Amino acid sequence: MPEVTIYSSMMCGFCHRAKQLLKKKGVDYNEIDVLFNPGRKQEMMQRANGRHTVPQIFIGDEHVGGCDELYALEREGKLDGMLKEGTA
């Protein structure tokens, strides 16, 4: 299973929603709170092609996007495959 990383903030409702879906699926994820680690926000923006809002979610090295994109992958039936193999 590829590593899942979510850049987030405690005050972000979309972050909570994305983490809720990942928890429901039994996914262990690496959470990086950019509010408490401001230097990591630059890292997130580089990895996410300049996107500066949270959450930004990565499965392995693949940038999934934010909460809406994560739920879209779930609706399309692609998320489980990505979580198992690291590809859509």
Domain-embedded: residue 38: yes
Question: Could you tell me the mean pLDDT of each successive run of 10 residues in the chain, 88 residues long?
Answer: 95 97 97 93 96 97 97 97 75
Domain count, the chain: 1
In this structure, which amino acid lies at residue 46? Q
DSSP letter for 48, please: T
pLDDT value for 17: 98
In a domain, 78, yes or no: yes
Domain housing 87: 31-88
- Asked if the structure places residue 39 within a domain, the reply is yes
Q: For residue 51, what is the domain's CATH number?
A: 3.40.30.10
In-domain check, residue 17: no
Residues with Cβ within 8 Å of 64's Cβ and at least 6 positions away in sequence, in order, are 57, 58, 70, 73, 82
* Confidence (pLDDT) at 1: 82
Considering the domain boundaries, does residue 10 fall inside one?
A: no
Asked if residue 79 belongs to a domain, the reply is yes
For 1-88, strand residue ranges (E) read: 4-8, 29-33, 56-59, 62-65
- Assessment of whether the complete model's pTM goes beyond 0.95: no
